[in-house]
Structure 1
Amino acid sequence: MITPVIMAGGSGSRLWPLSRKLMPKQFLKISSDNTMIQETVLRLAGLNVTAPLCICNEEHRFVVAEQLRAIDALGSIILEPEGRNTAPAIALAALSELSKGNDPIMLVLAADHVIENQTEFRRVVQNSVNLAEHGKLVTFGIVPTHAETGYGYIRAGARIEDSSQDKKHEILNQVQDDGVGVQDDVSVQSEQLNAFAVDAFVEKPDLATAQQYLDSGEYYWNSGMFMFKASRYVEELAKYNPDILNACKLSVGNTSVDLDFIRVDADEFAKCPDDSIDYAVMEPLCQVEGSDSVVVVPLDANWNDIGSFSAIWDINDKDEQGNVHQGDVVSQGSTNNLVIAEQKLVATVGIKDCIVVETKDAVLVAHKDKVQDVKKIVEQIKADDRCEANLHRQVYRPWGNYDSIDFGKRDQVKRITVKPGEKLSIQMHHHRSEHWIVVSGTAKVTNGEDTFLVRENESTYIPIGQIHALENPGILPLELIEVQVGDYLGEDDIVRFEDRYGRTSK
Structure 2
Amino acid sequence: MRTPLDKFYPLIPAGGVGSRLWPLSRAHAPKFLLDLTGNGSSLLRQTYDRLSGLTQSSVMIVTGESHAQAVREQVRELNDTDFVLEPSPKDSAAAIGLACAILYKRDREAIIGSFAADHVITPVEEFQKVVKEAVETAATGKIVTIGITPTEPSTAFGYIKAKSSLGIDNAPSALAVESFVEKPDAATAADYVNSGEYTWNAGMFVAPAELMLKHLKENEPELYAGINAIAEDWDTPQQHQTLQKLWDTLPKTAIDYAVAEPAAAAGDVAMVPGSFTWDDVGDFDAVTRLNQEKTGEKLTVLGEKSNVLNQDSSGLIVTHAERKIAVIGIENLVVVDTPDALLITTRDKAQAVKNTVADIKELNLNELL
TM over 0.5: yes
Correspondence for 1:58? 65
Correspondence for 2:112? 106
Q: Deviations over 1:215-235 (max 9, x none)?
A: 111111111011011111111
Cα distance, 1:98 vs structure 2: 2.3
Q: Deviations over 1:211-260 (max 9, x none)?
A: 221111111111101101111111111122212101111233344779xx
**Superposition pairs for residues 395-406 of structure 1, below 5 Å?**
none
User: Structure 1 pair 76/264, CA: closer, same or farther in 2 (3 Å)?
Assistant: farther
> One-letter code of the match for 2:206?
M
Distance, in Å, in 1 between the alignment partners of 2:202 and 2:189 is 16
Higher share of residues assigned strand: 1
Q: Given the alignment, which residue of 226, 230, 236 partners 2:215?
A: 236
User: Structure 1 pair 41/304, CA: closer, same or farther in 2 (3 Å)?
Assistant: same
Correspondence for 2:3? none
Cα distance, 1:263 vs structure 2: 7.0
Distance, in Å, in 1 between the alignment partners of 2:88 and 2:297 is 45
> One-letter code of the match for 1:316?
N
Q: Deviations over 1:333-369 (max 9, x none)?
A: 323x111112232111222222111112211011222
Cα distance, 1:81 vs structure 2: 1.9
Identity over aligned pairs, percent: 35
Correspondence for 1:159? 165
**Superposition pairs for residues 168-317 of structure 1, below 5 Å?**
193-255=172-234, 264-288=242-266, 291=267, 293-317=268-292
Query: Aligned to 1:110, what secondary structure does the other structure show?
Result: coil
Q: Given the alignment, which residue of 78, 85, 109 partners 1:79?
A: 85
Distance, in Å, in 1 between the alignment partners of 2:296 and 2:47 is 31
Correspondence for 1:133? 139
Instruction: Indicate if the aligned counterparts of 2:20 and 2:350 stay in contact, CA closer than 8 A.
Output: yes
Distance, in Å, in 1 between the alignment partners of 2:202 and 2:270 is 13
Distance, in Å, in 2 between the alignment partners of 1:49 and 1:6 is 16
Instruction: Indicate if the aligned counterparts of 2:102 and 2:234 stay in contact, CA closer than 8 A.
Output: no
Calculate the TM-score normalised by the size of structure 2.
0.90
Cα distance, 1:370 vs structure 2: 2.0
Which deviates more from structure 2 when the two are superposed, residues 321-330 or residues 86-95? Answer: 321-330
Alignment RMSD: 2.1
Cα distance, 1:89 vs structure 2: 1.0
Unpaired runs of at least 5, structure 2: 1-5
Q: Does residue 1:25 correspond to 2:31, yes or no?
A: yes
> One-letter code of the match for 1:209?
T
> One-letter code of the match for 1:24?
P
Number of residue-to-residue matches in the alignment: 355
Distance, in Å, in 2 between the alignment partners of 1:257 and 1:131 is 33
Calculate the TM-score normalised by the size of structure 1.
0.66
Query: Aligned to 1:140, what secondary structure does the other structure show?
Result: strand
User: Structure 1 pair 315/104, CA: closer, same or farther in 2 (3 Å)?
Assistant: same
Query: Aligned to 1:155, what secondary structure does the other structure show?
Result: strand
Q: Given the alignment, which residue of 41, 60, 70 partners 1:34?
A: 41
> One-letter code of the match for 2:26?
R
Unpaired runs of at least 5, structure 1: 166-191, 391-506
Distance, in Å, in 2 between the alignment partners of 1:287 and 1:54 is 29
Distance, in Å, in 1 between the alignment partners of 2:13 and 2:292 is 28
Q: Deviations over 1:122-143 (max 9, x none)?
A: 0111122211111110011111
Distance, in Å, in 2 between the alignment partners of 1:257 and 1:364 is 47
Q: Deviations over 1:391-445 (max 9, x none)?
A: xxxxxxxxxxxxxxxxxxxxxxxxxxxxxxxxxxxxxxxxxxxxxxxxxxxxxxx
Cα distance, 1:262 vs structure 2: 6.2
Distance, in Å, in 2 between the alignment partners of 1:133 and 1:7 is 22
Distance, in Å, in 2 between the alignment partners of 1:27 and 1:355 is 21
Which deviates more from structure 2 when the two are superposed, residues 231-240 or residues 40-49? Answer: 40-49
Distance, in Å, in 2 between the alignment partners of 1:304 and 1:279 is 23
> One-letter code of the match for 1:157?
K
- The structure with the larger Rg is 1
Higher share of residues assigned helix: 2
Which deviates more from structure 2 when the two are superposed, residues 126-135 or residues 380-389? Answer: 380-389
> One-letter code of the match for 1:307?
G
Q: Does residue 1:6 correspond to 2:12, yes or no?
A: yes
